[in-house]
Structure 1
Amino acid sequence: MSHSPLVEKAVELLHQATRQAPVLDLACGSGRNGLYLVNQNIPVVFADIKESALEQVENAITRHHCEEKSMVNFWQIDFEQDNLKPLADKSFSAVIVFRYLHRPLFEQIKQAVISGGYVVYETFTVDQPQFGRPKNPDFLLKHGELAELFADWHIIYSFEGVIDAKNAEVNNGSGKQAIAQIIARKPLL
């Protein structure tokens, strides 16, 4: 599965930012976006609840990126445990999140990004059910929600609408997906 075009839009920014800390690929799944960054010589921490997902990413790196192993770390974590703040006391140059939504994490994500760092976020909106899964409103952004969450950051890129997703990781048969995307920079302290 290929990476999201959104991560390509952010790659130059992430190159500059990662001099201070790695990028967190939060709920990385197959790791398609983080692996793209590793191919661009950007250090990445792959984080997911599933050990099997992290093993899949590690196997991909072993097969294709032996020389980049030093730029990669793995973190098995359940980001949705009650009363757990997994990102507390963590620092990343950027946090990338694709096709995952757990609203209680937003403030933690914002705090974990270093001053001048970035968030790259893409997930489904409330318009998605007409095209397929997910249908649960807990996993769907409201209109304008993503831009509003990062309104106090410098928004570099923002999109909300329907895309042609024939090659997307979650293909629903219609070839369409309703998504919101953002690239935002945390203000300098």
Structure 2
Amino acid sequence: MGRDPQVNREHRPDKQFWNDIYVRSSVRAAAYDSWLDKYSGELEHTRTTPVLDLGCGAGNNTLYLSERGFPVIACDFSEEALRCVRTIVPAVDTLLLDLREPLPFPDESAQLAIADLSLHYFPWEQTKQIVSEIRRVLKPRGVLLCRVNSTKDVEYGAGQGELLEPGYFLWEGQRKRFFDGATLEELFQDWQVSRMEEQVLHRYGKPKWVWELCAYTKK
């Protein structure tokens, strides 16, 4: 998440890198897959409380949810990503935020959050802090749905480049974390995990291995 020729342990991603990506995006760039279909039961509890789409990117999940009548707050730290979202879903609420900072939501204020391919760009301690912040803003028995890079994701840098810390690499100018099952279990040890499945995405030109996870707060 960011191109930086120098290795910096305190990861400060290059916002311009992501803005440039979304400047080149168009309405056609938003194309969701069906991964949320299986969570229709969890989603039904959010009809009156906005879903937090954390790291919404071009708006794939925001579009999916909006088309089905769910309120959404589309969140990203790229202004251009949010511009794309407003193009495809003009009425949606958008919010510029950085996941490394405290989330600007009250305690126990959201029923469901989505973090789709947005949690695997950070050092380990920062990753734990982000997950803890998400847990803080979710209601009791609130739900997090997320997908993260798998250690099998060799087409997108798993095990390649400069090792910054276990599972975390600088590869082709991007810092990326790759998860195995044990690491995910450690990260979500304070949650009740109902689904944790390794699978391949077919959204991209090459196969992309990810973990998909559904976790509930224990509060």
TM-score bracket for this pair, using the shorter chain length:
0.7 to 0.9
Q: Which amino acid aligns with 1:46?
A: A
Partner residue of 2:188? 150
Amino acid of the residue matched to residue 57 of structure 1? V
**Contact preservation (8 Å) 1:23, 1:44:** yes
Gaps of 5+ in 1: 63-68
Equivalent position of 1:65 in the other structure: none
Q: Is the 8 A contact 2:148 2:179 kept in 1?
A: no
Matches within 5 A, 1:3-18: 3-18=32-47
Q: Which residue does 1:106 correspond to in 2?
A: 131
Output the aligned Cα RMSD: 2.2
Q: State the shift of 1:119 in Å.
A: 0.2
Structure 1 counterpart of 2:13: none
Retained in 1: the 8 A contact 2:114–2:145?
yes
- Please identify which structure carries the higher helix content: 1
Q: TM-score, normalised by structure 1?
A: 0.77
Amino acid paired to 2:45: Q
Report 1:84-123 matches (<5 A): 84-87=101-104, 89=106, 91-101=109-119, 102=122, 103=127, 104-123=129-148
Aligned to 1:131: 155
Stretches of structure 2 lacking an aligned partner (at least 5 in a row) = 1-29, 162-167, 169-174
Structure 1 equivalent of residue 11 of structure 2: none
- TM-score normalised by the chain length of structure 2: 0.68
Distance 2:37 2:47 in 1: 15
State the Cα deviation string for residues 14-35 of structure 1 (Å, max 9, x = none). 122443x211000100110121
Higher relative contact order (CA 8 A, sep 6+): 1
* AA partner of residue 95 (structure 2): W
